[in-house]
Amino acid sequence: MSLKVSISGIRGIVGESLTPEVILNYTLGFSKILENGAILIARDSRLSGEAILNLVKGALNLCGRDVVDIGIAPTPVVLFGVANNKKIAGGIVITASHNPEQWNALKLVNGNGKFISQIELDKINEFISKKRFYFCLL
């Protein structure tokens, strides 16, 4: 099964199409398109969620981002949290929603508390294709 990339998420089967490299690339590209500020993160209760969360948090920290981890929470909580806190630049929800357990996804939330637009996704994909990431190792 192939990776499904859209404005509603980067979805795949963990370890097959949703690999650590894919997770890192989309996390780094997402960080690059956002304004300055922390990233709000939540996940669902899938077994793969905590490992993906740790990978995402580490990548964001390497980009110089603070991470606000709210644990297991539904997607609308992240949307609301980003929309109503000016110190939060965006959000990531680690959930594949209705898909089977072996699936997981990154749902990317822009600074307005909405899922990223196609234009934002195109910018992320451009950064990924050119490997133009910024790491802040202070």
Active-site annotation, residues: 97
Q: Are 59 and 31 in contact (CB under 8 A)?
A: yes
Q: What's the rounded Cα separation, in Å, for the pair 85 and 94?
A: 20
Strands 38-43 vs 4-6: parallel, antiparallel or unpaired: unpaired
Local structure of 55: helix, strand or coil: helix
Q: What are phi and psi of 104, to 5 degrees?
A: -155, 175
Structure-token match 């992320």, residue found:
124
Residue 17 identity: S
